[in-house]
Structure 1
Amino acid sequence: MSSERLIYLPLGGAGEIGMNAYVYGYGPKDKERLILVDLGVTFPDMDTTPGVDLIMPDISWLEERKNQLEAIFITHAHEDHVGAVGHLYERLGAPVYARAFTANIARHKMGEYGYSESVVRTASAWPEQITVGPFKVGFVPISHSIPESSGLVIDTPRGRIVHSGDFKIDETPVVGEPFDRDLWASIGASGVHALMCDSTNVFSNHEGRSEATLRPNLEELISNASGMVVATTFASNIARLKSLAEAGQAAGRSICLLGRAMRRMVEAGTQTGILTDFPKTITAEDARDVPRENLMLIVTGSQGERRAASAQLANGKYLGLQMKEGDTFLFSSKTIPGNERGVIRIMNQFSEMGVDVIDDAGGLYHVSGHANRPDLLEMHKLVNPDIVVPMHGEHRHLREHVKLAKERGAEAIVAVNGMLIDLSGAGPNVAEYVDTGRTYLDGSVQIGALDGIVRDRIRMALNGHIVVTVILDEDDDPLGEPWCELRGLPEMGRNNAPLVDVLEEDLSQFMGRAGAKTLTDDDKLEEGLKRQARQTAQAEIGKKPEVTVIISRLS
């Protein structure tokens, strides 16, 4: 029996939607040559990750084996697939391969961290393959909601793997390559050992709709609007940007793009030749002089992001532009689960201004970029794999996708982040479990999810904070009374006295009772002051705040 094995290890994107990072390896156990597919981010929220800027996969396992890593392959330019490349590249150091549009975006991210453009190498589409170690990897065009999306064919000594990437079956995608059934059937005809497949829309039983079906609905909506029209969508959905801009142009409106990410995507599309006939746009400064009924803004912030253009307009003026009664705001997008609160907040802010807010509850102004259940079934039939391993989905999506695959007679397994799957045999097996977590970008510093920093931040937010300061003289006797500073706590307690006064009185009494063993030992004194402060706060306000004790000794 061969001592070499074929492995698959998701570090992100399996058991969740976002933060994609998938490792493939071939070789002797623990000495496999490795490749990484995608290196993405997910986004924080104030409830679980307050103050965090981005969330990235924990690549510690891969970093420990960086001398075994041959290359990084990026399937497409969505942030959840490419967003962590610049942040984490230094820890991996392998060359990055992507097709032209994605490479343009990746180079821009690398440039922000001072890396050479040569780190990112532009790959051609299938049938060209890139040989790295024991792998031959080809980028196969596939339709999605961003141009030049690719599935990957990964040929290994053990057989062919197909990594679908994010996809849908769309033969008229407006921008980008249509889904080519004959191409994918030919890939399957050569024999596919394992298919790693998008699972996002496995519960949707309706056939997916093409991007091209939206244009008439958008034109009708915009042409019938009386005031200014503002539309938001995912900045990376260039096809939607084009459809919106063309619909606005057909209605006789000047088009203005607001938001750096949106302008960057259009710029990348133009530079790589994907966008050759995007309608002419005007600057925000020029837009201020256009009559409202002749103006259309296409803006960032479809997910309620606080700093994006949508939220800025909802808060008042943005770059001199302002929403008014009679205007129309269109969400040409689906709200990602978890973002509902931010989106609804913006909707209500606009409603209070008298703006007509239109979302996509009726399916008229947005189509998903992911394969619905019928599309997944068709991909299974075209590729005809021996093994299916679902990815890109929450656990419920992966489990349902496994049922779908088994109904067709394929071997299948639920593999979530940290499960190292051995694909060497006829079926998939869990070989081991790898510790995986998350890396937070907190300002300009990367921190671990288990470092306790965010945990402490949440505890302070939930419980408030007390700073207790005491001074002791040369004889270890208190010099004056302790004093307190409060943050995030009510001023008055149950006894209708200022909370700070009650705390300082109880702490002063504690200091008076403390013996020499406590007063001469900083650790014991700190522990006692914390305990007293929390007991007093619990009695006065029903909370046990976080307490910081500062002990100063005169020498």
Structure 2
Amino acid sequence: MSSERIIYMPLGGAGEIGMNAYVYGYGEPGKERLILVDLGVTFPDMDSTPGVDLIFPDVQWLAERRDRLEAIFITHAHEDHVGAVAQFHEDLGAPIYARAFTANIARRKMTEKGYTEKSVRTVSAWPEVTEVGPFKVGFVPISHSIPESSGLVIDTPKGRLVHSGDFKVDHDPVVGEAFDEELWASLAEPGVQALMCDSTNVFNAHEGRSESSLSSDIEGLIAGAKGMVVATTFASNVARVKTLAEAGKRAGRSICLLGRAMRRMIEAAVETGVLKEFPKTVSPEDAKEIPRENVMLIVTGSQGERRAASAQLAQGKYQGITMKEGDMFLFSSKTIPGNERGVIRIINQFSEMGVDVVDDSSGLYHVSGHANRPDLEKLHDLVKPHFVVPMHGEHRHLREHVKISKSKGLRGVLAPNGTMVDLTGERAEVAEYVETGRTYLDGSVKIGALDGVVRDRIRMALNGHVMVNVILDEDDDPLGEPWCEIKGLPEEGRSRAPLLDVLEEDLSQFMGRAGSKTLTDDDKLEEGLRKVTRQSAQNEIGKRPEVTVIISRLSA
């Protein structure tokens, strides 16, 4: 009996929304040839990851087995699927396969990091397949909120796997390919061992709406506006950008795109032929000279990003353009959980200017790019898999998706990040658990989540910081009094005396009491000074700050 097996293991994207990275393998246990599907990012927040620029999956397990990694396949060009391809190219080294639009975006990322574009290979849609090692992989068009989204057919010697990618059932998506039920049903004909399936909207019991259903409502809203109109959406949602631009044009407005990501996505869509018609746009310089009632801006920053165009406009001015009372700002997007604070901040800033803000609470100006529960069930029915393995969702989404699968008589498999599942036989079995985590891009350096850098930054933010300086002479006697510098702490405490004076007095008393064993031992002296500082601050301000001790010794 052959010992070769099919394995599946998410390194990111299963137990969270974002940071997608899914490993597939085939071969003898411990010797499997591997492919990776998607390599994305997620975004930081000031509460849990202050100062961090981007968050990546931890791919150390895969990097240690790079000699077995055949290729990387990218399903579509959203940042949570393609955003990390250049960041880990040196670690993984495998060729990257994608359809034309996604490949265009991936190549831009590679060149920005100084890598050759040749690492990214453009492939055509199903029925064309790419053979790598024991795998035959085909890109199957599927509707989503970005052009040329694809699911994957992954054929192995022991059965077919189907990876849905992000998708929705949309028969008229405006831009990109419609959901083709006959095509997806045909994938089931040889039998499908496992369907790895999007779980984002599993709790929504209503059928999903088409992108094309938005046009009339958006046009009516813009036509009724008196001042300048500004709209924001996901830059990657090319269909929505087109819908907004065309509605603005029909309302007699000149269209201006603001934000690097917005322009980059439209350029890529035009270059690759997925966007054949787009209204003529004007530059920000020209937009300033046009009467406000005749201008519509389409801008980045739908999630409250601080450096994006929306936030800059809310703070006063962006590229010389300001908003005024009577203007209208439209959020043609859904706020991703966790981003509410940034979006509400922008809404309030616009409100203070007298700008009318319209969000998607009515459901008229945005539709999701992900399948709701009825659409997930439709894909189950079309593909008829032996196993359903939920992905792309928080743990609660995965668990609910498993329940739905089982209620339909399918075998649901719960496999969050780090769970290696053997999908070869009649029953899916956990083969191994792998330690997974996160990697942070902090400036230009990648650091591990457990390295302590972000932890220390949070502790300083919560508790403040004190730097203690002492000098000892050649005989190990204190030279002068200790002195402190404080950051992020109040100037006065409970005693109403300056906090610096209180700290320095308590430290001076400690130095006066310290014996020679302490004064001659840097470790003991540092420990004592830190303890006194934190206790003194606790008594004065009710906080124990982070403390850095600098001991200087004069040599003979």
The alignment's TM-score, normalised by the length of structure 1, stands at 1.00
Partner of 2:234: 234
* 1:274-298 C-alpha deviation (Å, 9 max, x unpaired): 1111000000000000100000000
Q: Does 1:214 align with 2:214?
A: yes
For 1:122, the aligned partner's letter is T
Distance in 2, Cα, partners of 1:292 & 1:507: 64
Does structure 2 conserve the Cα–Cα contact (< 8 Å) formed by 1:254 and 1:295?
yes
Q: Does 1:313 align with 2:279?
A: no
Superposition deviation, residue 4 in structure 1: 1.1
Partner of 2:458: 458
Distance in 2, Cα, partners of 1:235 & 1:89: 25
For 2:143, the aligned partner's letter is S
Partner of 1:98: 98
Distance in 2, Cα, partners of 1:159 & 1:487: 61
Q: Secondary structure at the match of 1:136?
A: strand
Q: Secondary structure at the match of 2:101?
A: helix
Superposition deviation, residue 427 in structure 1: 2.1
Distance in 2, Cα, partners of 1:541 & 1:332: 46
Distance in 2, Cα, partners of 1:177 & 1:508: 74
Partner of 2:49: 49
- 1:236-251 to 2 correspondence within 5 Å? 236-251=236-251
* 1:394-431 C-alpha deviation (Å, 9 max, x unpaired): 11110110011111211111110001111111121111
Partner of 1:411: 411
- 1:132-143 to 2 correspondence within 5 Å? 132-143=132-143
Q: Secondary structure at the match of 1:115?
A: coil
Partner of 2:433: 433
- 1:157-196 to 2 correspondence within 5 Å? 157-196=157-196
Does structure 2 conserve the Cα–Cα contact (< 8 Å) formed by 1:101 and 1:147?
yes
Distance in 2, Cα, partners of 1:428 & 1:226: 60
Partner of 2:325: 325
For 2:296, the aligned partner's letter is M
Does structure 2 conserve the Cα–Cα contact (< 8 Å) formed by 1:41 and 1:81?
yes
> Which 4+ runs in 1 deviate beyond 3 A?
none
For 2:48, the aligned partner's letter is T
Distance in 2, Cα, partners of 1:168 & 1:428: 27
Partner of 1:149: 149
Does structure 2 conserve the Cα–Cα contact (< 8 Å) formed by 1:412 and 1:428?
no
Q: Does 1:537 align with 2:537?
A: yes
Partner of 2:300: 300
Distance in 1, Cα, partners of 2:283 & 2:427: 57
Superposition deviation, residue 493 in structure 1: 1.1
For 1:149, the aligned partner's letter is S
For 2:57, the aligned partner's letter is P
* 1:531-550 C-alpha deviation (Å, 9 max, x unpaired): 00001000011100000000
Distance in 1, Cα, partners of 2:203 & 2:261: 31
Q: Does 1:118 align with 2:118?
A: yes
Superposition deviation, residue 356 in structure 1: 0.4
Distance in 1, Cα, partners of 2:259 & 2:427: 47
For 1:340, the aligned partner's letter is E
* 1:144-177 C-alpha deviation (Å, 9 max, x unpaired): 0000000000000110000000000001000000
For 2:5, the aligned partner's letter is R
- 1:150-549 to 2 correspondence within 5 Å? 150-549=150-549
Distance in 1, Cα, partners of 2:49 & 2:427: 38
Does structure 2 conserve the Cα–Cα contact (< 8 Å) formed by 1:423 and 1:429?
yes
* 1:407-459 C-alpha deviation (Å, 9 max, x unpaired): 12111111100011111111211111100000000000000000000000000
Distance in 2, Cα, partners of 1:142 & 1:301: 26
Distance in 2, Cα, partners of 1:480 & 1:4: 74
Deviates more, 1:441-450 or 1:411-420: 411-420
Percent of aligned positions that are identical? 77
For 1:266, the aligned partner's letter is I
Q: RMSD of the alignment, in Å? A: 0.5
Partner of 2:20: 20
Q: Secondary structure at the match of 1:265?
A: helix
* 1:98-157 C-alpha deviation (Å, 9 max, x unpaired): 000000000000001111111000011000000000000000000000000000000001
Distance in 2, Cα, partners of 1:214 & 1:427: 44
Does structure 2 conserve the Cα–Cα contact (< 8 Å) formed by 1:136 and 1:154?
yes
Q: Secondary structure at the match of 2:125?
A: coil
Aligned length: 555
Superposition deviation, residue 189 in structure 1: 1.8
Q: Secondary structure at the match of 1:279?
A: coil
Q: Secondary structure at the match of 1:85?
A: coil
* 1:339-367 C-alpha deviation (Å, 9 max, x unpaired): 00000000000001000000000110000
Distance in 2, Cα, partners of 1:116 & 1:535: 56
Does structure 2 conserve the Cα–Cα contact (< 8 Å) formed by 1:412 and 1:427?
no
The alignment's TM-score, normalised by the length of structure 2, stands at 0.99
Q: Which runs of 5+ in 1 are unaligned?
A: none
Q: Does 1:58 align with 2:78?
A: no
Does structure 2 conserve the Cα–Cα contact (< 8 Å) formed by 1:466 and 1:487?
yes
For 1:244, the aligned partner's letter is L
For 1:455, the aligned partner's letter is R
Distance in 1, Cα, partners of 2:223 & 2:411: 52
Distance in 2, Cα, partners of 1:142 & 1:190: 20
Partner of 1:82: 82
Distance in 2, Cα, partners of 1:430 & 1:412: 13
Superposition deviation, residue 188 in structure 1: 1.2
Q: Does 1:128 align with 2:118?
A: no
* 1:13-67 C-alpha deviation (Å, 9 max, x unpaired): 0010000000000011111000000000000000000000000000000000000
Distance in 1, Cα, partners of 2:163 & 2:362: 32
Q: Which runs of 5+ in 2 are unaligned?
A: none
Distance in 1, Cα, partners of 2:418 & 2:277: 45
For 1:87, the aligned partner's letter is Q
